[in-house]
Amino acid sequence: MELFLLRRYHSLGTNGEIYHEGRPVVKTIELPWRCNLKSVSCIPEGSYPLGIRITEARGKHLEVMNVRNRSHILFHAGNEVFKDLRGCIAPVSHHVRPGVGSFSRDALAELEALVFPVLEGKGEVMLHVCDEEEW
């Protein structure tokens, strides 16, 4: 499976939208680009495999794998980047403004319903992250 995260960069956050087979799946919010600094920046543009990460404390999550100089980049619920994120990606149903979205839990459930069955069936999922203006 191929997913495309098309981003729009702003000083107060990075807004994006994930597409599968040319159709929008969910919108996203991330921290602004700050040179891939851990806990304060979104991840670099590029192509990344997705995997499943399971922890006792938080259960099952989608994880973005093989991010240079970063680890534990997850998809998880969050509606405000500076309050809820430290480098991860939050799916949202709507963008309110840069770095702020709404109905994140609903959007996360929609993304997981699409991706988990593929990964659990031993399929591969690739996330291609790019600037929407360059795509």
> What domains does the chain contain, in order, with CATH numbers?
2-131 (2.40.440)
Can you list the residues of the chain whose pLDDT is less than 50? none
pTM of the prediction?
0.96
Amino acid 90: pLDDT: 99
CA distances from 23 to 8, 28, 36, 106 (A): 18, 15, 28, 18
Q: Tell me, what's the pLDDT at 10?
A: 98
Structure confidence at residue 102 (pLDDT): 99
pLDDT at 57: 83
Q: What is the pLDDT of residue 13?
A: 98
